[in-house]
């Protein structure tokens, strides 16, 4: 194309490639017509045109025609669109100082742009950032880029450079044409590529979308970004009802009054001239840029005319005769600020800096403007394309489930004597939950049970069951007892959990234990019985020894005869044992301690027996009221440590995957056992596992919620041990489904309102047949050291205190006797100790022990001993009074057939005023 500026308004000619659509040529003609008929615009200047087609495949002929036009007073050229012809035109114009305006994207690919070149098309680097900002906004983590020609490759390179700024963005690039498009789509379907950037021209894009529709890839799970500024020209009627995510861009500012008026004038122009410009009511971006090129040039010419710089050129390709005002016109164009059909036009060094793109998304009502993008501002999403609609509009969603009580079951009743149809055939916890979520989110659904009756497990790189259905997009969601796991999360999306649970053990209820002959010993553990008997022996020996040491346990057995010659200790070895056993049996005895030390032992023993007997009695009552059961296993560790009882899980479930992938040693041993067991312990269904448990010698590992439901209805089964892990049930959707967030919000709403708990009570507890007595089901435990160990500590402390007190008593009495007898403390303690340690000794002893006279050194006084002289007067009580004798302290021991005296005194000689008491026997008189 070319412009000719001529004062007289004579002819001008335009150049177009023979591959350019007629709408672009007609847009050029309309632009000339528009600016020429604008009031008070381009006075004394007339723009005329003469259109010629350039053979793009014959560059020699095309270059000749370009030179021919440049020799006819050309002031500016626009185009052509063909890159080869445009490159020659740009070079020729630069040599002659003639401005060259372009509207093509591949002009930016030139390593050294011509000095007089001006491009109104947005830079592909900026367009790539627009695509990438939208990708970030929708949360892509990977994308497939499909391109065809060099223009698409230019955009792909820019997009890849821009995507390198995004961490963990996976990019796959494929070059497509009419022959391999279907193969690329099949590959994308197989590998799960659902995010596709289409860098094709309009005709190729239309073919690509048609093939995607045929392959079943036009749905809500796929997202296409059409990186073409003419998305409105595409025929999208066949896709808008499939709820596909399709995004594109528009550069024509349809909200501007100037644009609306111009488009209205274009419609009138093409009606009057029969020159088509619009595609329906839409103007292509190339037509808009062509109009803006004429519009920009006309303003530059007007300003140049006002400045008085406008002169006609006289140029030719054969002679280097440049246009001296060409640089002035270029500068005027480059510095001009106008608002055209594509928005504000700001140029710098011939490149467009400022523009705004409308973000367009395909909805049920067609393409809608949902946001804008501008350099330096990024993407601004202003509205949801499905505002006011459900996520899938009127589409009926397919919901996969697993028929397993109480989550989903077939109903056996009939409605008004008619068989049930559709969703009414099913009932259960998940069915009611699905109904509540459909009410909140707003969608219609159809329940489809999974054909292979499996939840889904990864084997040999392939999934089965519900997970397979979701991966293949055969269903839109799955509402079942589907466990959220890391492995599944990589292939499908899960909502927030609606039930929390864990793995536990289902086992047959053991038989009631019959009371044994010695069941009365069960309230106390075996070690406690051993400790009690040990304490009994220790306390008995302790009180026996302390009683012999303590002088206060030796007493007069005949209180009516204070003159008796012996004292007695009641705590003999047998009596010590009898005292302790009487107290232990809560019967008491006729033996009571007298000394402080022995009383401490007795008090400690009484408190010990009180606590022990009370604890025994209390626990005995529990054992008599509780029906004990003997269970061979109590936990997963018990299962792992034996081989008599087989155990397994549901084949192809998350529980099997848990044991298979576990790093815990106990669970690894359990998995090795299950994997090597023959016949296989894995079951095809939960019902098969329940039947094997009921048959006996089999434990079934399954989710705790299912166990609770089963044990509420089968009174012969029970749960053993606690939870082996913690996990949850969630609703699964295909990857990147728009349902995920909506369903998660619905679950949170139901949880806060208590609806999920109400449904749980309805299907688990309200319909249960077994009423379990917690007291009978519980098992009373024998008391161990941790229960009554403290009283043993107290007993040991009491015995230790008694030993200390007995020692003090022993030392004090020995010190008193040593002072009276003028003996050393050590010798006195040695004599007392020798007597006390005679465990087999008598329980009686003389009140006084025979002492040697300090004068004659004899037990019996010698004749010449001065202490043997006695005074003749006798006392009233039969004692002989002497001046040497002090008041008697002890008494004489009587022996049969003798008449002997034992003089006992403090200093071994009798002081004045003392009495000597004589004990005698007259058996031989």
Based on the fold, state whether residues 603 and 638 are members of the same structural domain. no
- 229, 363: one domain: yes
Q: Check whether 512 has a pLDDT greater than 70.
A: no
CB-based burial label for 831 (10 Å; 0-12, 13-18, 19+)? middle
Phi, psi (deg, nearest 5) at residue 725: -155, -175
One domain, residues 129 and 113: no
User: Are 418 and 497 part of one and the same domain?
Assistant: yes
User: pLDDT tens-digit profile of 2-23?
Assistant: 444 444 343 344 556 677 888 8
Render pLDDT for 458-484 as a digit per residue (tens, 0 to 9): 888 889 999 999 988 889 999 999 999
How far is the C-alpha of 744 from the C-alpha of 736, rounded, in Å?
A: 14
User: Residue 800 falls within a domain, yes or no?
Assistant: yes
| 391 in a structural domain | no
In a domain, 673, yes or no: yes
List the structure tokens of 389: 């609609």
Same domain, 269 and 343: yes
pLDDT tier at 852, thresholds 50, 70, 90 = low
- Note down the domain range covering 97: 2-122+257-353
Per-residue pLDDT reduced to its tens digit, 564-604: 667 778 888 888 888 887 888 777 777 888 888 888 888 88
Q: Which residue has the higher pLDDT, 912 or 506?
A: 506
Residue 54 has a pLDDT of 81
- Summarised one tens digit per residue, pLDDT across range 304-335 is 888 777 777 878 888 778 888 888 888 999 88
Task: Judge whether residue 799 has pLDDT over 80.
Answer: no
CA atoms within 13 A on the CB side of 879: 18
- Given this model, what pLDDT does residue 587 score? 75
User: In this predicted structure, what is the pLDDT of residue 252?
Assistant: 93
Question: 281 and 186: one domain?
Answer: no
Task: Give the Cα separation of 116 and 94 in Å (integer).
Answer: 5
Q: 88, 96 in Cβ contact below 8 A?
A: no
Both 131 and 227 in a single domain?
yes
Nearest to 400 by CA among 499, 456, 477: 477
The verdict on residue 771 lying in a domain is no
Stretch 390-398: mean pLDDT? 69
703 is in an annotated binding site: yes
Q: Tally Cβ neighbours within 10 Å of residue 181.
A: 22
Burial of 530 (0-12, 13-18, 19+ CB in 10 A): exposed
Q: Do 714 and 734 share a domain, yes or no?
A: no
Both tokens of 683, joined, read: 């079951």
Q: Check whether residue 130 and residue 171 sit in a common domain.
A: yes
Q: Which band of pLDDT confidence, cut at 50, 70 and 90, is reported for residue 772?
A: low
Q: Is 564 annotated as a binding residue?
A: no
State yes or no: 483 annotated in a binding site: yes
Confidence of residue 911 (pLDDT cuts 50, 70, 90): very low
pLDDT of residue 111 exceeding 70, the answer is: no
Judged against a pLDDT cut of 50, whether residue 810 lies above it is answered with yes
What is the per-residue pLDDT for 8?
39
Establish if 828 belongs to a structural domain: no
Respond yes or no on whether the N-terminal peptide bond of residue 80 is cis (omega within 30° of 0).
Answer: yes
CATH number at residue 744: 3.40.190.10
Query: What CATH number corresponds to the domain at position 266?
Result: 3.40.50.2300
**Number of domains comprising the chain:** 6
Strands ordered across the beta sheet of 195-199: 170-175, 142-147, 195-199, 223-226, 245-250, 357-363, 366-374, 378-381
- For residues 285 and 318, membership in a common domain is answered with yes
pLDDT at 505: 92
The mean pLDDT of 718-747, rounded to a whole number, is 89
Q: What pLDDT is stored for residue 624 in this prediction? A: 65
Q: Does the structure show a pLDDT above 60 at 531?
A: yes
Is residue 801 in a domain? yes
Domain assignment present for residue 841? The answer is no
pLDDT for residue 796: 79
Q: Is 900 annotated as belonging to a binding site? A: no
pLDDT confidence tier of residue 198, bands split at 50, 70 and 90: very high
- Pick from 701, 655, 730, 703: nearest CA to 499: 730
Claim to verify: residue 223 and residue 369 sit in the same structural domain: yes
Q: Which of 491-505, 542-556, 897-911 has the highest mean pLDDT?
A: 491-505
233 & 372 share domain = yes
Rounded Cα distance between 270 and 293, Å, is 20
Dist CA 212 CA 859 (whole Å) = 133
Does residue 386 lie within any of the structural domains? Answer: no
Burial call 201-216: b when 16+ CB within 10 Å, e when fewer: ebebbebbbebbbeee
- 654 appears as a binding residue in the annotation: yes
């Amino acid at each position: 194309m070319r412009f000719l500026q001529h004062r007289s308004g004579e002819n001008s000619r335009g150049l177009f490639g023979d591959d350019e659509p007629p709408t672009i040529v007609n847009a050029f003609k309309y632009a000339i017509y528009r600016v020429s008929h604008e009031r008070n615009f381009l006075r004394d200047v007339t723009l005329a045109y003469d259109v010629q087609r350039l053979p793009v495949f014959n560059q020699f002929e095309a270059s000749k025609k370009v030179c021919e036009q440049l020799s006819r007073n050309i002031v500016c050229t626009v185009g052509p669109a063909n890159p080869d012809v445009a490159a020659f035109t740009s070079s020729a114009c630069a040599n002659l100082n003639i401005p060259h305006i372009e509207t093509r994207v591949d002009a930016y690919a030139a390593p050294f742009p011509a000095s007089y070149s001006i491009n109104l098309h947005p830079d592909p680097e900026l367009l790539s950032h627009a695509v990438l900002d939208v990708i970030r906004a929708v949360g892509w983590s990977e994308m497939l880029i499909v391109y065809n020609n060099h223009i698409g490759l230019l955009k792909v390179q820019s997009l890849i450079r821009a995507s390198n700024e995004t961490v963990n963005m996976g990019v796959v690039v494929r070059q497509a044409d009419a022959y391999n498009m279907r193969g690329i789509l099949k590959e994308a379907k197989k590998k799960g590529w659902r995010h596709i950037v289409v860098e094709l021209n309009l005709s190729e894009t239309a073919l690509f979308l048609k093939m995607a529709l045929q392959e079943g890839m036009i749905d809500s799970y796929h997202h296409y970004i059409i990186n073409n500024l003419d998305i409105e020209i595409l025929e999208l009627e066949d896709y808008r009802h499939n709820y596909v995510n399709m995004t594109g861009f528009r550069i024509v500012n349809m909200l501007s009054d100037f644009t609306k008026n111009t488009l209205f004038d274009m419609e009138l122009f093409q009606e009057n001239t029969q020159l088509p410009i619009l595609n329906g009511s839409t103007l292509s971006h190339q037509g808009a840029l062509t109009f803006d090129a004429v519009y920009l040039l006309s303003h530059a010419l007007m300003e140049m005319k006002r400045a008085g710089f406008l002169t006609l050129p006289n140029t030719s390709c054969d002679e280097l005769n440049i246009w001296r005002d060409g640089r002035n016109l270029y500068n005027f164009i480059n510095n001009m600020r106008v608002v055209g059909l594509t928005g504000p036009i700001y140029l710098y060094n011939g490149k467009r800096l400022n523009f705004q793109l409308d973000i367009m998304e395909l909805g049920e009502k067609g393409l809608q403007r949902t946001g804008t993008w501008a350099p330096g501002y990024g993407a601004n999403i202003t509205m949801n394309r499905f505002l006011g609609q459900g996520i899938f509009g009127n589409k009926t969603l397919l919901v996969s489930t697993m028929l397993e009580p109480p989550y989903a079951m077939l109903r056996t009743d009939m409605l008004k004597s008619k068989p049930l149809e559709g969703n009414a055939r099913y009932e259960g916890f998940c069915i009611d939950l699905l109904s509540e979520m459909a009410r909140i989110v707003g969608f219609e659904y159809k329940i489809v049970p999974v054909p292979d009756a499996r939840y889904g497990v990864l084997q040999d790189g392939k999934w089965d069951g519900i997970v397979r259905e979701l991966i293949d997009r055969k269903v839109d969601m799955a509402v079942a007892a589907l466990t959220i796991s890391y492995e599944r999360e990589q292939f499908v999306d899960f909502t927030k959990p609606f039930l929390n649970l864990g793995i536990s053990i289902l086992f047959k209820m053991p038989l009631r234990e019959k009371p044994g002959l010695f069941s009365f010993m069960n309230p106390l553990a075996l070690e406690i019985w051993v400790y009690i008997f040990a304490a009994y022996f220790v306390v008995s020996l302790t009180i026996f020894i302390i009683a012999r040491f303590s002088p206060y346990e030796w007493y007069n057995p005949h209180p009516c005869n204070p003159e008796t010659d012996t004292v007695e200790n009641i705590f003999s070895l047998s009596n010590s044992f009898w005292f302790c056993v009487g107290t232990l049996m809560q019967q008491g005895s006729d033996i009571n301690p007298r000394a402080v030390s022995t009383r401490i032992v007795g008090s400690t023993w009484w408190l010990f027996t009180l606590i022990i007997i009370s604890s025994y009695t209390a626990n005995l009552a529990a054992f008599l009221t509780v029906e004990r059961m003997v269970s061979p296993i109590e936990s997963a560790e018990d299962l792992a440590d034996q081989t008599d009882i087989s155990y397994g899980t549901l084949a192809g479930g998350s529980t099997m995957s848990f044991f298979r992938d576990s790093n815990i040693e106990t669970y690894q041993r359990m998995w090795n056992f299950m994997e090597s067991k023959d016949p296989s312990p894995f079951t095809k269904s939960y019902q098969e596992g329940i039947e094997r448990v009921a048959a006996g010698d089999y434990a079934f590992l399954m989710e705790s919620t299912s166990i609770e439901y089963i044990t509420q209805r089968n009174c012969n089964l029970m749960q053993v041990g606690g939870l082996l892990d913690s996990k949850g049930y969630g609703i699964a959707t295909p990857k990147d489904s728009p349902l995920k967030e909506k369903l998660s919000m619905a679950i949170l709403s139901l949880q806060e309102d208590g609806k999920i708990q109400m449904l749980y009570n309805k299907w688990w507890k309200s319909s249960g047949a077994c009423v379990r007595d917690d007291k009978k089901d519980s098992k009373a435990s024998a008391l161990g050291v941790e229960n009554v160990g403290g009283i043993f500590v107290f007993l040991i402390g009491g015995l230790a205190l008694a030993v200390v007190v007995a020692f003090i008593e022993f030392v004090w009495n020995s010190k008193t006797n040593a002072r009276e007898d003028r003996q050393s403390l050590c010798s006195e303690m040695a004599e007392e100790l020798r007597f006390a340690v005679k465990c087999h000794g008598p329980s009686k002893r003389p009140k006084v022990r025979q002492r040697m006279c300090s004068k004659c050194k004899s037990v019996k006084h010698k004749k010449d001993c001065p202490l043997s002289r006695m005074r003749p007067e006798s006392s009233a009580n039969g004692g002989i009074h002497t001046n040497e004798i002090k008041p008697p302290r002890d008494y004489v021991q009587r022996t049969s057939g003798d008449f002997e005296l034992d003089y006992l005194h403090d200093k071994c000689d009798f002081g004045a005023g003392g009495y000597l008491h004589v004990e005698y026997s007259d058996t031989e008189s």
